[in-house]
A and B are shown apart, each in its own frame.
Chain A
Amino acid sequence: MNRSRFDFAVGLFVAIGLLAMAFMALKVGNLAGFDSGTGYVIEARFDNIGGLKVRAPVKSAGVVVGRVESIGLDAETYEARVLLRVYPNYRFSKDTIASILTSGLLGEQYVGLESGGDPVYLAAGDRLGKTQSAMILEKLISQFLFSKAAETPAKAQ
């Protein structure tokens, strides 16, 4: 086999390989939307984040507008400190409410942003004033049982 046929075959191989890599970056993954370097970071504090994970989506009206950048615990207040990276093309008002929601009954947890009416927009490093913690299924069930238990003796009298 002569040299030029090797060159052609190897060149074709590399081209197909690069095409496959591009497919993985653009079609399987989302290179444009997932660049962790772009956008701005805002802070939200929650009493309880439930099962929220780093990289969970941040959604507004069901549209992914960012990612959870990091999760930590404030050592003094014992609140969960969640940093959200929001894509640069979305802006939210100062009085936006962040809540931790679940997609479906057993689905993954994400952060929902609900914009308010304040004309001033959130800037990088700002902290959200109002948050709503995750619903913890066990807590809900026990609350339900306690309230039932509290009702029952009253009915019996």
Chain B
Amino acid sequence: MRASFVQLISALGHFFTSRIDRLGLAARFAGALLVSLSIALGRLPLMFREVYFSGVRSLSIVAVSGLFVGMVLAVQGYEVLQRYGSAESLGVIVALSLVRELGPVVTALLFAGRASSAVTAEIGLMRATEQLAAMDMMAVDPMSRVVAPRFLAAIFSMPFLAAIFSTTGVIGAWIIGVKLIGIDDGAFWSQMQANVDVRIDVLNGLLKSIVFGTAVGLISVFEGYFAAPTAEGIATATTRTVVISSLSVLLLDLLLTVMMFRGLS
């Protein structure tokens, strides 16, 4: 009885120390990454190549998802709003939901699944096949040549993708609300414009997506860099990237929302 209690306590201890170990590792990794950023920023073509693989290749899924999310929001929103006789507010509801929350958050989740998991697998495989070691032996720092460009590409791509998601979302809501349901076109846009603030809503939304891009980018390169050099290790690392990125995005979103929008309307 006592033995099992001790076991439980030490298992609990192990659970936390191993996680804190990993956090420490991540912090040291982030520090090294930060140092290598200056070199990577001097070679932007390397980053743009990764923007192609991460950002451009995610464009279609983000745009289509945005359109559908906007349409669903419009159908659901209209259902509730017309009970209170304020169906013209549909544009406001949809636009604020998209610009403040769904745009940055859903884009980051899609990005984690579409692009970051691939980055983790790629870096993990490069490590397993000694490509990073070979680079290091050729006196080329893999941190600034391989890791940093992929990290920067996530930060760079995310705000554009979030803006595209929100835009197609608003267009989707407009198609449902104005074209299919028949809400007045003028009221739809004017209510939206009267209630969406560029600085508070749009800029904060983009700021969120930059923070998410940083988090998702860091997690994906970290998990790839420290993936065990086996098939199973890379599979585990890829899963971890998606799970940890998604949870981090949602947690960060809560913190940022409280900081940005508390005390407003």
Contacts and interface: CB of A to CB of B under 8 A. Distances in A.
B202 A29 contact: yes
A120 to B, nearest CB: 30
Interface string B173-215: 0000000000000000100111011111110001000000000
Interface string B159-185: 111011011001000000000000000
Interface residues of B, number: 36
A28 B166 contact: yes
Interface stretch (B48-56, B115-123, B129-137, B245-253): B48-56
B219 interface: no
B166 A20 contact: yes
Which of A3, A18, A34, A55 has the largest number of chain B CB atoms within 10 A?
Answer: A34
Contacts of B192: 28
Interface string B49-72: 101100110010000000000000
B86 interface: yes
Contacts of A64: 194
Interface of B: 45, 48-49, 51-52, 55-56, 59, 84-86, 95, 99, 157, 159-161, 163-164, 166-167, 170, 189, 192-194, 196-202, 206, 264-265
14 contacts: A6-B49, A13-B160, A16-B160, A17-B159, A17-B163, A24-B163, A29-B193, A29-B196, A29-B197, A34-B197, A54-B265, A57-B194, A104-B86, A106-B84
Closest 6 CB pairs of A and B: A17-B160, A20-B163, A30-B193, A29-B198, A20-B167, A29-B196
Given A6-B52, A106-B84, 12 more contacts: A12-B56, A16-B164, A17-B160, A17-B164, A21-B206, A24-B166, A28-B193, A30-B196, A30-B198, A36-B199, A64-B194, A107-B86
